[in-house]
Chain A
Amino acid sequence: MMDTSTLLALVQDGVVNGAIYALLALALVLVFAVTRTIFIPVGEIVSFAALTYAGLDGKTTPPVLALTMGLGLVAFLRGAVKARGRALMILALETLGLPATVTAIVMAVVPMQLGIVANAAIAILCVAPLAPLLYRIAFAPLAEASVLVLLIASVGAHLALSGLGLLVFGPEGARGDAFSDAVLEMGPIILPGQAIWVLAATLATMIGLWAFFRFTLAGAALRATAINRRGARLVGIATDQAGLHAFWLAGLIAAVSGVLIAPLTTIYYDGGFLIGLKGFVAAIVGGLVSYPLAALAAIAVGILESFAAFQASAFKEVIVFAGIIPVLLWRSLRHVSVEDEE
């Protein structure tokens, strides 16, 4: 039934999809480690970035900017109740100034039609700020709440963004232009250019993250907050800022994955959720703490999905999501008190 070339093609397909899941798994682990939030809206960021990238035609301003500016305004009003003086100014800069600057830059750059890489950058720039703005609106005020409360806030943010997505992008799906039409043929392996881009971008992001955590002060602060929130605060780390940085990174990573999948398939306003969910499965395998485990698990999820689709396409999702049950059982037997906070 299955010859070598089919086997190779399935593995290759699984690895490419798995790479996307790996990026999302990293974003989820990062956000959870630093803020204890399970960042469900990561899927919306993926779809919005994909739709924004696909919608860039050199004429229209990306509609998502209205959403970015709107969320910025809400975040400002939310924070302005408490902030005074210099804090208020910084808040205004980050919630009003930044989206406005992004809008100005994008409106200036879009008509120039600088090509596909520039378009990818524009899409990422437009969409990535949604994550930190969401943090300011929904998660920062709940920083001390339980994981369950944060999860509920996260579900709420997911539902709200999904509804706004329909409003902003409409119900039609879209597909972006491929970064390259080249097809690399190595014997039985047919590797489309986009697949190479996905793998390269995933590797680059992982190396970038590693370098950020290893060599920068902000990265060290994130790690410290993730290891022990109270301890980090005792040594003078602003854990609120760390949370904001974590969401920034997650937003960037999710937007990058969105742009990467835009040429692979038709994306709808609600299509990112399922992709994010598969990243979540991988993140769970990594116990929501281990980056390498989560990344490996994501590749495994991709390959499992590919083989499941070949053998029994009707039950593909069932097989993938059922895979999480033995992992959860195993984890709950090994670590009795994972759920304990701080």
Chain B
Amino acid sequence: MLTRHRIALLAATIVAGLGFGAARADTIKVGITFSATGPAASLGIPEANSVALFPKQIGGADVEYIMLDDGSDTGRAVANTRKLIDENNVDIIFGSTVSPAAISMVSVAAEKKVPMIAAAASGAIIAPMDDNRHWVFKTPQNDGLMADAIVENMVKQGIKSVAFIGFNDAYGDGWLKEFTRSSKAAGIALVDAEKFARQDTSVTAQTLKMIAAKPQAVLIAGSGPAPALPQRTLKERGYRGLIYQTHGVANTEFLKIGGKDVEGTLLPTGPYLIAEQLPDSNPVKAVALDYKKRYEDKYGAGTASTFGANANDCERLFEAAVPGALAKAKPGTPEFRAALRDGIEGLHGVVLDHGVATMSPTDHNGFDTSARVMVKIENGAWKLLP
């Protein structure tokens, strides 16, 4: 009796659900997979939080966001992508947070002909351009752009020899590759390259080896607060040269944990981090401050991060392309998805939280040098360098 009752209830729910779906055929569905748990959770959580701030209506059409957590795991990110496309029939995918997952999602998005905007940094997500990457865009700046900013600053300071220590993963390897390319072109010698891991309790050995090579500067390539450890060990061992970090440390925990050990550190970052210090003439300032305010109104002062801004940029790219796509086709159709993709690729001078993007068939990131600034850590805060 009870079971029959329950089945009837279930059937009623399903029918009601179908009716609801049919009535909302004009809804654009956005599938999202971010890494709200797992090793990249500190990046994924502000990204997932940003989803609640996304507009519910764009160009007269309702927008529905369906978000899944991939646990920083490549397999789950791919499974999420398939599920979102096959079961939820989404028109576009945002994600993932981490590069290996985003790279694996590329072929799925291309196979289903659904555009995808990654919030992960690796250049391999969008380059070299091919039939699969045709469907894929990404919002964080390319490592190469950031590496060039560091090398430019090193040249300005007259540095001729650099030692490198990076994470023993895709992030560190990517940086080593880009930095080697960029420094070589500028005639700077890379005298030592070391690796360390996020969980290491000591990097004394690597530090000793770097100091033995007598570099004028050290570049530390890691993300989160962990890169404070090599910097502290360098100080402890009496290293007096310049220390550069990457935009992976552009978070408040790094400042908190690094404390006085990281004073004077130089690093490249997107303009979002120091939006308040930008001149009013910079178009990024208003956009970035608006996002920051909306985020912090909801989640508390000091909670907004550059990673959340990367997610917000996914939405801004999508939002800019929606009106054109709506004019061509109805949401939920292959034509709409293709129009959406073409629309994003045709975007010109869109102002994002991290810079101004101009897409092209060969460049699916679209940022130029306006999307990075050099900052220095002074008195426990980021300071924009001219």
Contact = CB atoms under 8 A, between A and B. Distances in A.
A275 B201 contact: yes
B42 A175 contact: no
Given A17-B202, A266-B228, A266-B257, A10 B208 contact: yes
A290 B307 CA distance: 49
B205 A166 contact: no
Contact of A175 (B165, B208, B257): B257
A180 interface: no
Contacts of B206: 309-310, 313
B36 to A, nearest CB: 9
Interface-centre pick from A192, A261, A265 (highest chain B CB count, 10 A): A265
Contacts of A10: 204-205, 208
Contacts of A314: 168, 195
B161 interface: no
B226 A313 contact: no
Contact of B204 (A9, A166, A317): A9
Interface in A267-294: 268, 270-271, 274-275
B199 interface: yes
Contact of A13 (B41, B204, B229): B204
B86 interface: no
Contact of B201 (A1, A9, A261, A317): A261
A59 to B, nearest CB: 15
Closest 9 CB pairs of A and B: A171-B41, A309-B205, A310-B205, A13-B204, A171-B42, A313-B195, A314-B195, A271-B199, A313-B194
28 contacts: A10-B204, A10-B208, A20-B201, A170-B42, A171-B44, A172-B42, A173-B42, A173-B253, A174-B225, A175-B228, A190-B236, A192-B236, A265-B202, A266-B224, A271-B198, A271-B199, A274-B199, A275-B199, A306-B205, A308-B205, A309-B202, A310-B205, A310-B206, A313-B205, A313-B206, A314-B168, A316-B168, A316-B197
A17 B202 CA distance: 8
Interface of A: 1, 6, 9-10, 13, 16-17, 20, 163, 166, 170-175, 183, 190, 192, 261, 264-266, 268, 270-271, 274-275, 306-310, 313-314, 316-317
A51 to B, nearest CB: 12
Given A173-B224, A173-B253, A310-B208, 20 more contacts: A6-B212, A9-B237, A10-B208, A20-B201, A170-B42, A170-B45, A171-B37, A171-B45, A173-B257, A174-B257, A192-B236, A265-B199, A265-B202, A266-B228, A271-B199, A308-B205, A309-B203, A310-B206, A313-B194, A313-B195
A310 B199 CA distance: 17
Nearest to A167: B37
A9 B206 CA distance: 11
Contact of B202 (A13, A183, A307, A317): A13
Interface string B39-68: 101101100000000000000000000000
Interface size of B as a range: 20 to 34
Contacts of B224: 172-173, 266
B209 interface: yes
B43 to A, nearest CB: 8
Q: Which of B203, B205, B224, B236 has the most CB of A within 10 A?
A: B205
A174 B253 CA distance: 8
A308 to B, nearest CB: 8
A266 B202 contact: no
Contact of A264 (B42, B165, B168, B202): B202
A172 B199 CA distance: 12
Contacts of B257: 173-175, 266
A274 B201 CA distance: 10
A116 to B, nearest CB: 16
Contacts of B197: 274, 316-317
